[in-house]
Amino acid sequence: MTFVTYFDEIKPDAKLGRHEYVVGGLVIPFGHIKPLEKAVGDLAVEIFGTSEMTPSTEFHAAHIYFGKGAFKGRPTQQRIEVLGRLGAIIHDAREQGVGQVYTCANSDLMHSTDPAKAAFAFFCERVQGYVGRNADTLLIGDLDGEESRQMIRDFSKYRIDGKTPWDYGAPIPSIVDSVHFAHSHHSRLLQLADAYLLGNQEGLDAEFAQQGLRGTKLLSAPLQGMAETSLSGLATGCSRMSASRTWVNVRTWRDPATSDQIADSDKWAGGAMLAGGGAHEP
């Protein structure tokens, strides 16, 4: 079976008290790519009036959340509805066999290990664990300057070494070619992966009303209820906050040389999800 894995990242932000470096995305069977592209494209036509893919017609999750970019000045109600619609697409995709993979490395617990490198390596392990040895996948990420170039270099080394960088690293034979990158506004599925990462943020429902949609004004009671419903739908579509989830190879691992904590299952280190909550067998 052939998959394409679309992924994105969320960097730590100490000012917001967020210390996790997150890498995650959607592992999509090749035959599901066109229907998913169409679903997000149809939503774009409805919201933007065009299927053209430019920065002004992009579903950038943080921009929807904070009312920036293509969603600057758009009504709060519309932004709530868009997040809910993206959540529904993610949920339906999961039910049809699209995998969800999420990893994080806690930068506040790491002293000698680069959390970006750790999260990406762990992500590659998760993707391999999801697709198994009898399938193949290509990785496509959001183009982000130096981080993208570093991921290409790191992945090339994994391929040469035959495994991820730990002393007991995992082989990743099913991830083919190099890591490929594209601008997110050129790919509806990168945008969907971005929405998936937003749906994985811990405490999303409460935080949303406080920081995102509210801005400087209190949401009215109807809009508050709408926001909670919409965000609940987005979160439910994402494996981390779904009631049914099966984690693949979740572990706590410390570098014996540095004692850096690479991943902690209590901090949602990572996982993979298949429709119905069952792990995809290698």
Average pLDDT of every residue of the chain: 75
Residue 251 predicted with pLDDT over 50: no
φ/ψ of 13, rounded to 5, equals -140, 95
- The highest-confidence range among 39-48, 76-85, 270-279, by mean pLDDT, is 39-48
DSSP per residue, 34-45: HHHHHHHHHHHH
Residue 39 predicted with pLDDT over 90: yes
- pTM for the complete prediction? 0.78
The partner residues of 174 in beta bridges, in order of sequence, read none
Task: State the pairing for strand pair 253-254/99-106.
Answer: unpaired
Residue 232 predicted with pLDDT over 50: yes
The amino acid that residue 199 corresponds to is: G
Give residue for tokens 């619609």: 85
Distance CA 92, CA 103 (A): 22
Long-range interactions of 142-145: CB distance < 8 A, separation 24+: 142/7, 142/8, 142/9, 142/181, 142/182, 142/183, 142/184, 142/190, 142/193, 142/194, 143/181, 143/182, 143/183, 143/184, 144/9, 144/181
3-state class of 196 per DSSP?
helix
The partner residues of 179 in beta bridges, in order of sequence, read 139
Distance CA 271, CA 265 (A): 9
Contact 142, 181 (CB under 8 A): yes
Residues in the chain: 282
Mean pLDDT of 275-279: 30
pLDDT of amino acid 222:
54
Range name among 115-129, 199-213, 227-241, 243-257 with the lowest pLDDT average: 243-257
- Per-residue model confidence as pLDDT tens digits over 77-124: 888 888 888 888 988 888 888 998 888 877 777 666 778 888 888 899
Contact 110, 117 (CB under 8 A): no
Nearest CA among 250, 264, 253 for reference residue 108? 264
pLDDT of amino acid 174:
93
Mean pLDDT of 228-255: 42
Residue 191 predicted with pLDDT over 90: yes
Structure tokens at 243: 């009631």
Selected residue with higher pLDDT from 243 and 166: 166
Mean pLDDT of 202-212: 46
Mean pLDDT of 236-242: 46
